[in-house]
Structure 1
């Protein structure tokens, strides 16, 4: 399973537009720029605890969006099927390709 940081970064990529500008800023600074809670709190002139609470709530929101919409899971499934299709093409197993493409269409 992916580590937490990698998962949160992926979820952020899919759902960042659903977050407020402040949530986006905190998440980008913490996860993408790897700033500490203290550094972020100094930038926004709020407590470290406020930053921590906001980041945790935002992480929960991202997980909730994923449970409801499943965009990241669908993306992972498509990537897996594309890799399988690539291997089938290389092995010249063309009869199996239609099944893989049907599975891709079912994801949507």
Structure 2
């Protein structure tokens, strides 16, 4: 998995457990693609201060994931849902009753909603 994507997911899941400043800096860095210099200028702190906050914040996010594993569980469930969706789409509905075909289509749509959210 892409390191930036992983870090952004960690921030989404555990960001509120960081200090307000760490969250703000990591959000600018990961979600808004600001450079260290841009963040430093925006927040009126040094580039070293930005770097230190990113490093400490990321370490905290990693520790939270080690203990709770929410991102791992989320990604596993999403992968499984995609596999199920693929299997459902491969089913030949031509031999099914109209009612069964409609039910299968509703299940497919529900799983797509879950995967896309």
Q: Report the structure number with the largest CA radius of gyration.
A: 2
Q: Same fold (TM over 0.5)?
A: yes
RMSD: 1.6
Please give the TM-score of this superposition, normalised by the length of structure 1. 0.76
**1:15 and 2:28 correspond:** no
Residues 3 and 89 of structure 1, relative CA distance in 2, 3 Å threshold: closer
> Deviations 1:26-52 (Å, cap 9, x if unpaired)?
011111111111121122222111110
How many equivalent pairs are there? 92
Runs of 4+ in 1 over 4 A off after TM superposition: none
**Aligned partners of 1:9, 1:77: CA distance in 2, in Å?**
17
**35-44 vs 60-69, which deviates more?**
35-44
TM-score (structure 2 length as normaliser): 0.71
Question: How far off its partner does 1:67 sit?
Answer: 0.6
List alignment gaps of at least 5 residues for structure 1: 93-108
Q: Where in structure 2 are there 5+ consecutive unaligned residues? A: 92-117
